[in-house]
Amino acid sequence: MNKKSIKDINVTGKKVFVRVDYNVPMDEQLNITNDTRIRATLPTLNYLLEQNAALVIACHLGRPKGERVAKFSVEPVAKRLAELIGKEVKFASDCVGPEAEKAASTLKPGEILLLENLRYHKEEEKNDPAFSKQLATLADVAVNDAFGVSHRAHASVEGITKYIETVAGFLMEKEIKFVGQTVANPERPFVAIIGGAKVSDKIGVISNLLEKVDTLIIGGGMAHTFDAAKGYEIGKSICEPDKYALALDLLKQAEVKGVKVVLPVDLVIADKFAPDANTRIVDVDKVDPEWEALDSGPKTSELYAAALKDAKTVIWNGPMGVFEMDAFAKGTEAVAQAVADSSAISIVGGGDSIAALKKTGLSDKITHISTGGGATLEFLEGKTLPGIAALADK
């Protein structure tokens, strides 16, 4: 990816429009419950401040769909950012128009301004040229540090690049390097672990990875579709009958390409979908017709760990079971532990996998935790992300 980053341009004394992904979770009282996405941008913001730049920061929150919805105001984000960066963060109650223009034009080097939610305007998601141009007039140069939204051709991500030079921030650069380059040119053996509920959500990822990996571990609810396709009784487990043919085709493709596929050999089954359900551990072909599988079993965990032992590159996306309930978290926790114990370059993406890592306290043992959800998946699928494609070339 031959794209310019902030170190390739002179930002000294300039006004810099910085697109970030501050779509953070909040409680009913509008307190931010997880500020990881804000913290992830601090290296970029601090570097720009060190260069005596003035920062005009833009983001979105939730899905206000072009309406002014009070609970989606990013004002609480300005307060949290100020605490984290140790500087005042000015706030503009709109992202375009007279107030935003005045706030940006009077901004001095070393000062920070956060604009109100971009998605209060329908034009943002429509990638409206006039709206893009309005955003571009607020600064001299733009930085995209919002990998998590770069799979969307929105005004602040893609449209703005037509009116103002736009380069990658450090977080964006890291995502391109780890997710993009590692998948394109991995150290081998290369193992991918794909979990989650549905095959349909991850078809593109599995198909693309089959071209690249040496071993593919398939877990979580989607494994039941493969099992059912092979003729196993899966009881009341989550399943996609319309994907049986696809599942068998993916297994055949793997065989032809010489990719080893590892599926669960035992499961934790329950008599109901609840934390206090009665549970049993059974072989994969012994699921009671009235019960459902909610986690992988201990033999499967050993199998997965063995497949990861000699890996040089590992990608993990998606949990192995209903990890939110402690009774069904062991499979996901075992994978988290095996990835953490591995000496491989490890990349973890997807909200559930990251939440599981946090729960096990193993986040610092991972080489790179991707900040994108859908963006990471599309990148792993080998798709071109509009926000990355639009960055200035070196």
Residues marked active site are found at: 37, 198, 351, 374
**Around Cβ 286, how many Cβ atoms within 10 Å?**
14
- HEC letters along 314-380: EEEECCCCCCCCHHHCHHHHHHHHHHHHCCCEEEEECHHHHHHHHHHCCHHHCCEECCCCHHHHHHH
- 123: burial class by Cβ within 10 Å (0-12, 13-18, 19+)? buried
* Residue among 245, 262, 273, 325 at smallest CA distance from 299: 262
Contact 237, 287 (CB under 8 A): yes
Closest CA to 196 of 236, 258, 238: 238
Residues 6+ apart with CB under 8 A from 239: 221, 224, 225, 228
- Hey, what amino acid is at 125? E
